[in-house]
Amino acid sequence: ADNGAAIFISQSGETVDTLAALRYARQAGQSILSIVNQPESAIARESDMVLHTNAGPEIGV
């Protein structure tokens, strides 16, 4: 896009605040690149380009 690009990074791809920022950037004419662990996530679906980390499940201690 003429207005640049925005990069979003999320393990789950469902982080509400990150998704809101992505939508704001999209409305501003930005191309969207996401780096996510869940390729079927909302952030991935709404991105122009997706890099999948393939990191497996997040395990909390």
**pLDDT tens digits, the chain, 61 residues: what are they?**
467 999 999 999 999 999 999 999 999 999 999 999 999 999 999 999 999 998 887 787 7
Supply the pLDDT for residue 21.
98
Q: Is 21 left (phi over 0), alpha (psi -120 to 50) or beta?
A: alpha
Supply the pLDDT for residue 35.
97
Nearest of 18, 54, 14, 50 to residue 32 by alpha carbon: 50
Supply the pLDDT for residue 2.
66
The full set of domain ranges for the chain reads: 5-52
